[in-house]
Copies of this chain bind each other. A is one copy, B any other.
Amino acid sequence: MQKWKLLSEREVLKAVVFRYSQKKLKSPVREVTGDFDIVSCANWVNVIALNQAGELLMVRQYRAGTDELTIELPAGALDPAEDPLLAAKRELQEETGHTAINWKHLGDLAVNPAFMTNTCHVYIARDCAKTHDLNLDELEEIEVLKRPLKEALELFRNGSAKHSLSVASLGLAYLQGELSS
């Protein structure tokens, strides 16, 4: 099993949140070439944020992709060259007004290695406290939800909250022994 060889690449277009390019690749073990769609987004962060009362912080907002009101973990895109931990702290503060001293990196996810290039960095922040007002982008409308952890996990279990990157972040927390099932 080896990596395929790049024969050519061309950028098709730049959208607002992604660039779309096409790669022509050749298998090193067979005489096969193929054209592959490549979608490049900024890297992202997701934050599992718990306050001192043991409540999980979540954000409720309208999402254009699914045309639904969703419940998700605080999350967002890194600014160019931004440190992932600083981005996690910034997004948590902007979306929930909460800050924390106690941060831990849980891991990095490949969003979709099949056709997406980017990484989602996942952190857990404990002992969060409300220290700031929300600071939202022009197109963001966010309601902050706080629920006891067990009750919050039930929202993810029963499908009320179902963003794949939120659930993957919880998966990493289970794998790292930071949550018990």
Contact = CB atoms under 8 A, between A and B. Distances in A.
Interface of A: 1-4, 6, 12-13, 15-18, 20, 22-23, 25, 27, 29-30, 32, 34-39, 60-70, 72, 107-117, 120, 138-139, 141, 143, 153, 156-157, 159, 162-165, 167-172, 174-177, 179-181
A36 B64 contact: yes
24 contacts: A3-B62, A3-B67, A3-B69, A6-B67, A23-B64, A27-B141, A34-B138, A65-B113, A65-B116, A66-B113, A109-B167, A110-B163, A112-B164, A153-B175, A156-B175, A157-B175, A165-B168, A167-B171, A167-B172, A168-B171, A171-B172, A175-B181, A177-B181, A179-B181
Contacts of A181: 174-175, 177, 179-181
